[in-house]
Chains A and B, each alone.
Chain A
């Protein structure tokens, strides 16, 4: 079963725009919500993470917005750059078992 649903599957944004990737989870036991960034031929790398007791977290140009009542969270990338082109995965975890969404392939065009 898909415990973390991610959309869109792919996204094309012009440089400087704000891509938004959305995720929804089902398991209320999840207490940690990370986002991973993956470049072709590489393993995923942790980008930013949030816990359900806060509604927003910013790290540089990356922001997570979290809505606990709706069981949804999203990633926003401010002032997007061509170097941000990658596949992004959201995930949720109760403890050490991390469940991933299906991924979003983001392309930033100059």
Chain B
């Protein structure tokens, strides 16, 4: 099915561990973003990309790295997991945000213990 695919769906990490959340889209979208969703705080932008090789920071980038080597993939790396990074992470893509909005994946629920 066309869309945004996120893996894994669930993950438990120990404090200090690192991991990569995968995101892939097959719609040839230029724009991709990572958001985290926490109760009462809505969706907050972590990092975004306007095309392969181009990334920039969002509102809450600390503790996360991204790269965009292809149009399709936009992985999010947690460098040293902390309990404050317990959240639901959403990847999203768009061909033109200000005319079509973002298409979101189904999310990765991450727990850091």
Give chain A's interface residues, CB within 8 Å of chain B. 6, 9, 31-32, 34, 36, 41-46, 49, 89, 93, 95-103
Contact = CB atoms under 8 A, between A and B. Distances in A.
Contacts of A95: 97-98
B45 interface: yes
In this complex, the member of A31, A32, A43, A97 whose beta carbon has the largest number of chain B beta carbons within 10 angstroms is: A43
Nearest to A30: B98
A98 B41 contact: no
A97 B45 contact: yes
A31 B99 CA distance: 10
A42 B106 contact: yes
B101 A99 contact: no
Contact of B41 (A32, A49, A102): A102
Contact of B97 (A96, A100, A103): A96
B40 A46 contact: no
Given A44-B90, A95-B97, A102 B40 contact: yes
13 contacts: A42-B107, A43-B90, A43-B105, A43-B107, A44-B90, A93-B98, A96-B97, A97-B97, A98-B102, A100-B35, A101-B42, A102-B40, A103-B40
